[in-house]
Amino acid sequence: MNNTIIKSQAITKYIRTSPQKSRRVLQQIQGKKYTEARLMLEFMPYRASKIIIKTLDSAFHNINKKTNTNRQNIKIIEAYANKGPILKRFQPRAQGRAFPIRKPTCHIIITLES
């Protein structure tokens, strides 16, 4: 039996949600097993959880491509969201004024280990 540790990472960039809202979900799955985290994400009411499921699946398939390991042996060692570029828009207001609208984006990084 070879007990080598294999790591895999998946990055999703330019997600149209704020980093704070994504971090709220990512903090709950950090350190959990893959199957447990996937089940938690399926039943979370947050919009970011759908995107995080796709990123988690991508990281799982990356690690599965390197070596065929059991789903129960895979653990999330890192899950975080970095700030992306902010899309700046303007909302017209009364008397010719403009109100700034900031649309934040984020980059989600998930690292798995078997």
Polymer length of the chain: 114
Structure tokens at 31: 């350190």
CATH of 18-113, picked from 3.10.350.10, 3.90.470.10, 3.30.70.3420, 1.10.600.10, is 3.90.470.10
Say what the pLDDT of residue 108 is: 97
Residue of 81 and 1 predicted with greater confidence: 81
Tokens of 91: 């909302």
Q: How much is the average pLDDT of 18-47?
A: 95
The order of strands in the sheet holding 106-113 is 7-15, 106-113, 75-83
State pLDDT tens for residues 33-67.
999 999 999 999 999 999 999 999 999 999 988 88
